[in-house]
């Protein structure tokens, strides 16, 4: 499949679905507070675009901060895990507990602990919790996935633990870490929006609040417009990290460079 086709086919499907949507809503006379036609969403996007965009920027700021915190904490924990099997055995179950706990369920507690006057801090903490696990899982896999021959060479040349970490394990783990980062970035965005919803109070300024507000006012077109922006932000974030990942891979394997 050519590069052009990769873009053309999904777009064609999108246009087709939008057309069906528009026709169906008009023909069936669906009220716009139930399901607005795409044209109404486009109008809302133009009209409310700037204010929604400001909210999106607020959300993205928190997303990026939470993503960065996820990367740092996930990577540090992964390094700790891979130093000693006992450390991992002792801590991994607790990391899993953190992962499987629904963020909505702990949101009220986190708000009380850190977010009474600063909801954004609670959102940051919650989104970080959501985002850190893929980094931890991928990085601890990558740090162990070292060429055994290279590992022997480092032993033969009496490398110390820092040399081993910085010259062997981290570079070897980089592709896995980046793959984790891509998943984590998406989760951090979702985490931020969900956390904004759950922690939501009057002073929240992120996109989630706009969505909640639109829903409450039955401005469904505006709600869809906000969702659309969110989707674009997610796609953008994903593409950015996919590009970084691809670049790193292409440095190591020529076959990826032609792909």
Partner 1 sequence: MLSLRDVALTYRNGVRALDGVSLDVADGAFVALLGPSGCGKSTLLRLIAGLEKPSRGSVSGAENTSVGFVFQDPTLMPWADALTNARLALDLAHMPRLEADARARDALHAVGLRGFETALPAELSGGMRMRVSLARALAPEPRLLLLDEPFAALDEITRFKLNDDLRTIWMQRKCTVLFVTHSVFESAYLATRVAVMTARPGRIASQRDVDLPASRSVATRTEPAYAALARALSGDLEQATAQ
Residues that bind partner 1 in the complex, under the rule CB under 8 A? 147, 149-150, 152-159, 163, 167-168, 171-172, 174, 251-254
Which residues, 6 or more positions from 31, have their beta carbon under 8 angstroms from its beta carbon?
none
- The CA distances from residue 197 to 40, 53, 89, 127, 211, in Å, are 25, 18, 35, 12, 9
Decide whether 3 or 158 has the Cβ nearer to partner 1: 158
Decide whether 177 or 194 has the Cβ nearer to partner 1: 177
Decide whether 171 or 215 has the Cβ nearer to partner 1: 171
- The nearest distance, CB 173 to partner 1, in angstroms, is 11
The Cβ of residue 202 has, within 10 Å, a number of other Cβ atoms equal to 6
Using left for φ > 0, alpha for ψ between -120 and 50, and beta otherwise, residue 218 falls in left
Handedness of CA 189, 187, 77, 166 (dihedral sign): negative
- The nearest distance, CB 174 to partner 1, in angstroms, is 7
- The nearest distance, CB 252 to partner 1, in angstroms, is 4
- The nearest distance, CB 159 to partner 1, in angstroms, is 5
Decide whether 11 or 254 has the Cβ nearer to partner 1: 254
Cβ–Cβ under 8 Å, residues 178 and 244: yes
Decide whether 91 or 174 has the Cβ nearer to partner 1: 174
- The CA distances from residue 162 to 86, 138, 158, 216, in Å, are 20, 20, 11, 55
- The nearest distance, CB 208 to partner 1, in angstroms, is 40
């Amino acid at each position: 499949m050519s590069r052009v086709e990769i873009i053309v086919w999904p777009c064609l499907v999108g246009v087709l679905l939008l057309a069906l949507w528009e026709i169906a809503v008009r023909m069936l006379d669906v009220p716009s507070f139930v399901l607005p036609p795409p044209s109404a969403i486009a109008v809302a996007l133009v009209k409310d675009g700037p204010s929604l965009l400001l909210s999106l920027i607020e959300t993205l700021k928190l997303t990026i901060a939470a993503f960065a915190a996820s990367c740092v904490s996930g990577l540090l924990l992964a390094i700790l895990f891979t130093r000693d099997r006992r450390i991992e055995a002792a801590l991994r179950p607790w990391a899993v507990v953190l992962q499987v706990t629904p963020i909505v369920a702990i949101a009220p507690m986190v708000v009380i602990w850190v977010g009474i006057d600063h909801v954004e801090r609670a959102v940051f903490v919650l989104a970080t919790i959501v985002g850190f696990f893929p980094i931890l899982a991928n990085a601890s896999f990558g740090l162990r996935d070292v060429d055994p021959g290279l590992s022997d060479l480092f032993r033969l040349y009496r490398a110390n633990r820092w040399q081993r970490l910085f010259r062997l394990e981290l570079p070897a783990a980089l592709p896995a870490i980046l793959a984790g980062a891509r998943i984590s970035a998406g989760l951090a965005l979702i985490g931020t929006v969900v956390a904004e919803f759950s922690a939501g109070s009057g002073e929240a300024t992120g996109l989630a609040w706009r969505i909640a507000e639109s829903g409450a006012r039955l401005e469904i077109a505006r709600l869809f417009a906000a969702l659309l922006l969110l989707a674009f932000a997610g796609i953008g974030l994903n593409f950015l990290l996919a590009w970084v990942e691809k670049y790193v891979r292409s440095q190591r394997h020529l076959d990826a460079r032609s792909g």
